[in-house]
Structure 1
Amino acid sequence: MKKLFGLVCCLSASTAFAQADIKQQQLIKKSTIHASITVGYGGIENPVLDADDVTSPILPSFAYYGDNWYFDDFSLGYSLYETENFYVDLLGRFNDDGFFFELDGVDKLYATGVVRSSSGRPTLPTASPINLTPIERDLSYMAGLSSAVNVFDAMWLSAAYVHDVTNVHNGYEILLNGYQVFELFSGTAGIEAGINYKNEELIDYYYTVSPSESKTRLLSYNLESATNYYLKVSYEYPISDSFTLDFKLKHTWLDSNLANSHMINKNGYFSGFTGITYHF
């Protein structure tokens, strides 16, 4: 259940910042609960070293949009100002970095001693006795402002600023993205590109390995703020009034400084889901 919870949150994270695709396509009718479940295959690559990827055969979704407030899966929002081509919202959502640690039990890293070092050779610390502690990171909930403007007929540009309100790391994120929808083969296709800036406090909390968490002697490595980039494509094809064929694929490119840190073993990761969706 925890893995499914994290999968839903992570796959819906980008749309929590920009509801432009929903508003543009008018897929969500106000003051109505919208629920669906997709049966197929999907998941998230976990970029943390030696952590398992998360996959699932089902992906549920649950949303409600009122006149001023909404929730979409685990994201919350309140509309401060809205016109046909522009809106400003209060926004709340989980931070996706925390799920990389919650989903797979990354505490096993400290026991196996596989945390990557710059030398590539594991050596035991000289301190005795060796009292190692698990690598544990808490989930944080972020809240702030998001805004979007319709620059062309079906293209939106959006920006968001969210700050940790759960006193986990007291960091913040800034996200900028653009989203375009268009008709394709009797269905609806979308393409989204974005930049996600995470400040030093957030990056340091999640990705710094302390000496007590690793059997490997770690050379000094200072983490800084990180700017990640992503590209997302989606396609929805109606089969009937209740069923659609859905495809979503997103690739995130990690900041080079973050990708070379002790805890990460790749330059980026994929996430997505494809299957048949039933709309309740």
Structure 2
Amino acid sequence: MKYAILFSVFLASIFMSPMSLAQNKTEQTLVEPGSFDFRLTAGFGGIENPLRERDHIRSPLLPEFSYYGDKLYIENLVFGYSLYESPIWLVDAYGYFNNDGYFFADSNTAKVISIAGITQNTWKATRVELNLEDIERDLSYMAGINISHINTWYRTNLSIAKDITSVHHGEEISLTFAKPMQWNSFTVTVQFGATYKSADISDYYYRLTDQENTIAIRQQDIGDTLSPWSSVNLRYHFNPSWSVGLSFKKTWFDSKFKQSILVEESNYSSGFVGVSYRY
């Protein structure tokens, strides 16, 4: 159950991206203000963990919920308030969880890594035990402005947000391009974009603190990063209640993350496929 909850939170900040918020806002004219929507999907999904010796996150269930008021809306754990609306522009104040913290959840396995070469200590190549299981990072909640431009062919989204929980005091900027398509009961949305993270975020999550660096690994600050990503979302509706869907997203880390002893993979995937019932 903890994986299902964690996976739902992850979806709130990754799959329920600002672009999908803009799409759903355009569909609000079909939803009576004050309505609550809940959907439960059963299938298989997961998140690849790019960190060293960390378990992937898997879940057979995916709960999703939303609420739309006149101005306020909630989509999973994304909270938004409409500041301006027109046929082609949407401007919202919104908040969401920064996704980097999820990679550090439930770390409880032994870690043994080689630091030969990483420390550039060429006079002695040795395997040294580094205890990564006690390394923890807090989730942060980001808040800022989300601006969407919508036309017949594609949708563009720009979001600017800052940590309001005093975890790392960092900023994120995301630019997204999306192409939604529909054929009768079948819908497809293709998205690609890039996310900028300030040095405060990158160094907080992916750099060892002095207390954690017990074997004196030589580290460099990671600094500002820019990571591209792409995703595809497919859904077929049998009727208003039942549907089957697939979501897949690929994220490529900025090359600066290679400097981190915590990072093992240069990219990671996330996705979910299953049958959904909408209440």
TM-score surpassing 0.5?
A: yes
Change (3 A) 1:116 1:253: farther
Asked if the contact 1:115/1:262 (under 8 Å) is kept, the reply is no
For residue 80 of structure 1, what is the aligned residue in structure 2? 83
Question: Equivalent residue for 1:33?
Answer: 36
Distance 1:66 1:122 in 2: 58
The answer for the alignment partner of 2:52 in structure 1 is 49
- Deviation for aligned residue 1:83: 1.4
2:73 is aligned, of 70, 75, 97, to 70
Instruction: Find the counterpart in structure 1 of residue 199 from structure 2.
Output: 200
Partner of 2:278: 279
Q: What SS does the aligned partner of 2:3 have?
A: helix
Does structure 1 conserve the Cα–Cα contact (< 8 Å) formed by 2:85 and 2:91?
Answer: yes
- State the alpha-carbon separation in 1 of the partners of residues 36 and 17 from structure 2: 17
Between the aligned partners of 1:121 and 1:271, the Cα distance in structure 2 is: 35
What is the CA distance between 1:179 and its match in structure 2? Answer: 1.2
Q: 1:28 to 1:168 in 2, by over 3 A?
A: farther
Equivalences for residues 1-280 of structure 1 within 5 A: 1-14=1-14, 15-18=16-19, 19-24=21-26, 29=31, 30-102=33-105, 104-105=106-107, 108=109, 112-114=111-113, 118=118, 121-123=126-128, 134-150=134-150, 152-184=151-183, 186-214=185-213, 216-280=215-279
Deviations 1:3-62 (A, max 9, x none): 323211222324342212323456972421010000000010011111000011110001
Alpha-carbon deviations, 1:221-253, whole Å to 9, x = none? 221111111100011101122100111000000
Tell me what 1:128 maps to. none
Q: How far apart, CA to CA, are the structure 1 residues paired with 2:241 and 2:191? A: 26
Separation in 1, partners of 2:219, 2:180: 46
SS, match of residue 211 in structure 2: helix
Q: For 1:49-79, what per-residue CA distance to the aligned partner results, in whole angstroms no more than 9, with x for missing partners?
A: 1100001111000100111011100010000
The 3-state SS of whatever aligns with 1:212 is: coil
**Offset of residue 215 of structure 1:** 5.6
CA contact (8 A) 1:70 1:76 kept: yes
- Give distance in 2, aligned partners of 1:171 and 1:66: 30
Give the TM-score of the pair, scaled to structure 2. Answer: 0.88
Distance in structure 1 (CA, Å) of the matches to 2:25 and 2:169: 32
Once residues 75 and 115 of structure 2 are traced to their aligned partners in structure 1, the CA distance between those partners, rounded to angstroms, is 37
- Superimposed CA distance per residue, residues 113-150 of structure 1 (whole angstroms, 9 cap, x where no aligned partner): 4375615743479xxxxx99921111111111111011
Deviation of the 1:178 alpha carbon: 0.9
Paired residue total:
270
For residues 24 and 49 of structure 2, the distance between their equivalents in structure 1, rounded to whole angstroms, comes to: 28
Which stretch of the first structure deviates more once superposed, 53-62 or 152-161? 152-161
Q: Distance in 2 between matches of 1:28 and 1:209?
A: 49
Q: Give the letter for the 2:18 counterpart.
A: F
Conserved? CA contact 1:198–1:227, under 8 Å: yes
**What amino acid maps onto 1:44 in structure 2?**
I
Unaligned runs of 5+ in 2: 120-124
Q: Is the CA contact (8 Å cut-off) linking 2:198 and 2:224 kept in structure 1? A: yes
2:230 partner SS: strand
CA distance in 1: counterparts of 2:184 and 2:156, whole angstroms: 25
Structure 1 44/27 Cα, relative in aligned 2: closer, same or farther at 3 Å? Answer: farther
Identity of aligned residues (%): 32
Letter in 1 for 2:251: T
Query: Do the aligned residues in 1 keep the contact of 2:4 with 2:60 (CA within 8 Å)?
Result: no
Give the C-alpha shift of residue 211 in structure 1. Answer: 4.7
Distance 1:112 1:81, change over 3 A: same
Q: Deviations over 1:183-236 (max 9, x none)?
A: 247400010111100000111111111353256541232211111111000111
Which is worse superposed, 201-210 or 248-257? 201-210
Aligned to 2:122: none
